Amino acid sequence: MFKNHVLVCGGTGCHSNRSSEIYKEFQNQLIEKGLEKDVQMVLTGCFGLCAAGPVIIVYPEGAFYSKVKIEDVTEIIDEHIIKGRIVERLLHEDESGKETEPVQALSDTNFYKRQTRVALRNCGVINPEDIDEYIAYDGYQALIKCLTELKPQEIIDIVKQSGIRGRGGAGFPTGMKWQFTHDAVGDEKYVCCNADEGDPGAFMDRSVLEGDPHAVLEAMTIAAYAIGGTQGYIYVRAEYPIAVQRLQIAINQAREYGLLGKNILNTGFSFDIDIRLGAGAFVCGEETALIMSIEGNRGEPNPKPPFPANKGLFGKPTLLNNVETYANIPQIILKGAEWFSAMGTEKSKGTKVFALGGKIVNTGLVEVPMGTTLREVVEEIGGGIPNGKKFKAAQMGGPSGGCIPEEHLDVPIDFDSLTKIGAMMGSGGLIVMDEDTCMVDIAKFFLEFTVDESCGKCTPCRICTKRLLEMLTKITEGTATLEDIDKMEKLCYYIKDNALCGLGQTAPNPVLSTIRYFRDEYIAHVVDKKCPAHVCKKLSSYVITDKCIGCSLCSRKCPVNAISGVIKQKFVIDQAKCIKCGACVDSCKFKAIVKE
């Protein structure tokens, strides 16, 4: 019987901050001090509060230590584990835009107390590489229930009644997709999982695979039994090495336990799952392009119909859902459709996971009931905007989504409400921007990504997005006209109406939403030749103010010799030479240089 359990976050974020080394240091010191039989070490998945990493929780007290360093391990062992005294200085400080206070337990933080964790229920709780821990938390009970108590159609009916919609972007009813694949005629059917997740700033699916891979395997096996599937594939990008490793370990363990493979649990049902690695193409998040890639072809979308449910992988009926969608299924089967549908709104049931990033205090993973307002996510869970800055907008849905301005902070986060204001749920990326953000530059950033990631198959996406980017670039450089803004809008709607796949059709959304809500910034760039946020380099300039004491440090730091003057007198910047690198601002100790 262990006296203490030490949970160390092993998600990618904390791993990059040396959490795996901290974990090994704990193990080494516990062995040296003869405590290895008294302390259970657990390397978990992501806890969610990435801003606090590396995170360590010590039970039974549940002490929540954040931003732990390797050199802190000795103190935690000597003080907390041996003497039973919580190390106060390492306790997490619950930050918000207004105040900071230490908290002792994870559940006491504003970040966690307002969440409802379903898809993330086991992340940061169990060892993802130990199937026994998953089973101890009701793992594979839903599969057993399906194989022994429910018929395939009964399972599909439960999924339908729950009201769950696909969490990968478009929000198509999951139960209907399962029904279509079940009804399709085919001698062989496939179950696929989309774990490609190519949106900038999105890491929801990665964290589920890193922290709770068996939930996805269990859900895919349930889906296979429901639709008559024989083989499953998880398409995951190769840039997720920890997720891939833990997923393979989970698959091997499930096979060993008779939960994957032939004659699962002696029920006569056979189903297996293999991993297919993606090369990082954003377009492979689109279902038909993903299927093409699994087949070994170039990842390009195909016209629909036929839909994958009728003709998908290798020309056979195929069910395709994303990681988060699958992660909800076991709990829906165990707790019932009514339990799941009681959360959320009338047309958007359950919870949604968001990757909260950008200009926000608490960056990380957030799971809230559908219908939660954006204000609650940003101000209460996210802790508000740092450094006393004001909220300006939130980009939701990545390159396919739209910018939500302050006037819509109280909009409920659900599929239909977001569509009405020109945004979309997308896969769940949520990037917060403050008053120092240029919205024209933001639109340009996302469009650059889309242009770079276009597969090039259709002309509206291959050519028209490039023309759109050229117009945006002219605006940021002060060479555009007001007529260009009108041309941009027309081109946006042309792309939306004519692009082949959903990714191309939604590519103009960041441009349209920023023009809709921040048109004054576009006009300022075009008419006044100014960037109100002082972000666009060609429309900004550095000026030395009267605070200058003539120390010459800025002149010595300037890489192009654009600053000149006499010692102890005000220096000046030659705007014709200045490359706007900002080195002068960084070097000035008197804050005498400003960006205009």
- The answer to whether residue 5 scores a pLDDT higher than 60 is yes
Rounded-to-integer distance, Cα 384 and Cα 396, Å: 17
Name the nearest CA neighbour of 128 among 256, 243, 4, 2.
Answer: 243
Q: Is 369 helix (H, G, I), strand (E, B) or coil?
A: strand
- The answer to whether residue 453 scores a pLDDT higher than 70 is yes
pLDDT in tens, 141-155: 999 999 999 999 999
The secondary structure of residue 569, as a DSSP letter, is S
3-state helix, strand, coil in the chain (%, to 5): 45, 15, 40
Rounded-to-integer distance, Cα 424 and Cα 419, Å: 5
Q: Is 77 helix (H, G, I), strand (E, B) or coil?
A: helix
Which residues are CB-contacts of 488 (< 8 A; sequence separation ≥ 6)? 468, 471, 472, 511, 515
Rounded-to-integer distance, Cα 342 and Cα 475, Å: 48
- The answer to whether residue 99 scores a pLDDT higher than 60 is no
Indicate the pLDDT class of residue 122, thresholds 50, 70 and 90.
very high
- The answer to whether residue 595 scores a pLDDT higher than 90 is no
* Residue 213: per-residue pLDDT: 98
Indicate the pLDDT class of residue 447, thresholds 50, 70 and 90.
very high
State the CB neighbour count (10 A cutoff) for residue 559: 9
- The answer to whether residue 101 scores a pLDDT higher than 80 is no
**φ, ψ at 429 (rounded to 5°):** -75, 135
Helices within 114-203 (DSSP H only):
131-136, 141-149, 152-162, 174-183
Average pLDDT, the chain: 94
**φ, ψ at 514 (rounded to 5°):** -75, -35
Rounded-to-integer distance, Cα 236 and Cα 195, Å: 5
Diameter of the chain measured on Cα atoms:
89
Instruction: Between 95 and 204, name the one with better pLDDT.
Output: 204
* Residue 102: per-residue pLDDT: 65
State the CB neighbour count (10 A cutoff) for residue 565: 17
Indicate the pLDDT class of residue 210, thresholds 50, 70 and 90.
very high
SS3 of 8-43: EECCHHHHHCCHHHHHHHHHHHHHHCCCCCCEEEEE
* Residue 508: per-residue pLDDT: 94
Which residues are CB-contacts of 45 (< 8 A; sequence separation ≥ 6)? 9, 10, 11, 122, 123, 124, 126, 128, 207, 208, 210, 211, 212, 246
Q: Tokens in use for 85?
A: 């005294």
Q: How many helices (H) and strands (E) does the chain have?
A: 25, 19
* Residue 427: per-residue pLDDT: 78
* Residue 200: per-residue pLDDT: 85
Is the C-alpha dihedral spanning 58, 62, 68, 71 positive or negative?
A: negative
Name the nearest CA neighbour of 120 among 200, 211, 4.
Answer: 211
Q: What is the mean pLDDT of residues 565-579?
A: 93
Lowest average pLDDT, out of 35-39, 212-216, 423-427, 450-454, goes to 423-427
Name the nearest CA neighbour of 327 among 188, 471, 168.
Answer: 168
Indicate the pLDDT class of residue 376, thresholds 50, 70 and 90.
very high
Rounded-to-integer distance, Cα 212 and Cα 117, Å: 13
- The answer to whether residue 100 scores a pLDDT higher than 70 is no
Q: Tokens in use for 532?
A: 């109100």
- The answer to whether residue 329 scores a pLDDT higher than 50 is yes
Instruction: Give Cα 43 distance to the centre of its chain.
Output: 21
User: Are 233 and 192 a contacting pair, CB within 8 Å?
Assistant: yes
Amino acid letter, 441: D
- The answer to whether residue 95 scores a pLDDT higher than 70 is no
Q: What is the mean pLDDT of residues 43-65?
A: 93
* Residue 96: per-residue pLDDT: 52
* Residue 94: per-residue pLDDT: 78
Name the nearest CA neighbour of 211 among 73, 14, 70, 2.
Answer: 14
* Residue 97: per-residue pLDDT: 44
Q: Tokens in use for 136?
A: 């101890």
Name the nearest CA neighbour of 317 among 219, 208, 182.
Answer: 182
pLDDT in tens, 266-317: 999 999 999 999 988 999 999 999 999 999 999 999 999 999 999 999 999 9
Q: What is the mean pLDDT of residues 9-20?
A: 94
* Domains of the chain with bracketed CATH: 4-108 (3.40.30.10), 131-341 (3.40.50.11540), 351-434 (3.10.20.600), 439-528 (1.20.1440.230), 541-595 (3.30.70.20)
* Residue 202: per-residue pLDDT: 87
**Pairing between strand 231-237 and 190-195?**
parallel
SS3 of 190-213: EEEEEECCCCCCCCHHHHHHHHCH
The secondary structure of residue 390, as a DSSP letter, is P
User: Are 256 and 217 a contacting pair, CB within 8 Å?
Assistant: no
